[in-house]
Structure 1
Amino acid sequence: MGVLTDYFRAPDAATVVRALELGEGVLPPFDGPSGGSSDEASEGAFEGAFDGVRAKGVDPDVMLGQLVAAVLGEPWRAGLVSETAVWPTTPQPAPSGPWAEDDPWATGPWVTELGATARDALAGVPDERVPEAVARWAEAEEWYGADPSDLLPLAEELVALARRARAAGERLYCWICL
């Protein structure tokens, strides 16, 4: 079973929760981006509840955290990308259980708000340093055997999304589903 992850920007957690409660989801079904790779073209790539990037399997703590660490030029550490749960909105059960089979905390989807450190690090990396950061990101054991040139487009999309979020005074969020 794979983990699906989408990163998106929104003004605040309340806006994200309203969209999820209305059944709008966070990103529309994927039809492929429209336009080129510039920030302006990417801005209209998704016509749904939020502007976002599909990043299958790139979890916030480890995988995105390693990209943020590479951008910052520091070693990865757990918690580098801080997260605050936004969805589900019901109280989270104790880790020891018991969990009901239909509990949204057990079944997902889950949405977390990322701390400003991740947004600002990605938004602030100069374009000419992105390939260097991606080369370091590709060395992570989770990317075993990955070619940095295959990861570069995703990193560029995440950087562009972070820049748009920072420019708009918005936060980054991650939608996760099994």
Structure 2
Amino acid sequence: MYDYYRAADRQAAVVDPDSGRAGRKHPAFDAVEAKWIDPGIVLGQLVALVRDVPYSLDLVQTTSLYPPPEGGPKTLEEWEALPEDSPYQEGPCIDELPAHVRDTLAGIPDSRVADLAERWGRIEEFIAPPDTGYLTTLITELRDLAQRAQEENQMIYCWMCA
């Protein structure tokens, strides 16, 4: 599960990390529930389509905020010693998206949404082609979220949980 949301700063973004961000799960956040749209690959493909550039894995390089990277395991032995319920093992995780992703999404004009949804729905990462109506709505929601984040000089974050 992936929830995209905006927050005043990194400290605000990681408040109550065990709770999802969208809908009734956490009403304090302005969020979009994006189900299986991960930031690096599937959202990255949308960013590439919007920019009309080839997709690459480094197009959306997020910054990990939770669990804190500075406290994370660094060796195989440390990974193996983690308890099963460690957030480093199971999540949830919170990442900050780069400003260029926010700005790219915010700049999607209404006239491109339907075409982007149709093209995005054809990427191979979607095992079965998703409903174009769903993708159209999702693109619009992500765009609107990005515009509100821009207006408030905020970043977009992604809350992820298996």
Aligned-residue offset at 1:139: 1.4
Aligned to 1:98: 80
Residue matched to 1:157 = 141
1:50-89 correspondence to structure 2 within 5 Å: 50-89=29-68
Query: d(CA) in 2 for partners of 1:66 and 1:99?
Result: 36
Shift of 1:86: 1.0
Q: CA deviation at 1:111?
A: 0.4
1:110-156 per-residue CA deviation (whole Å, 9 max, x = no partner) reads 00000011100000111111222222211101223234233111111
Are the counterparts in 2 of residues 20 and 26 from structure 1 also a CA contact under 8 Å? no
Q: Letter of the aligned partner of 2:62 in structure 1?
A: E
Residue 95 of structure 1: how far off its partner (Å): 6.3
Unaligned runs of 5+ in 1: 31-46
Unpaired segments ≥5 residues, structure 2: none
In structure 1, which of residues 116, 119, 122 is the aligned counterpart of residue 102 of structure 2? 119
**Superposition TM-score, scaled by structure 1 size:** 0.80
Deviation of residue 104 (structure 1)? 1.3
Q: Does 1:29 align with 2:8?
A: no
Q: Residue type of the partner of 2:141?
A: E
Closer/same/farther in 2, CA of residues 139 and 94 from structure 1, 3 Å limit: same
Task: Give the TM-score taking structure 2 as reference length.
Answer: 0.87
Q: Could you tell me how far apart the structure 2 residues matched to 1:175 and 1:165 are?
A: 16
Percent pairwise identity? 39
Change (3 A) 1:153 1:13: same
Give the match for residue 13 of structure 2: 16
Note if 1:129 corresponds to 2:112. Answer: yes
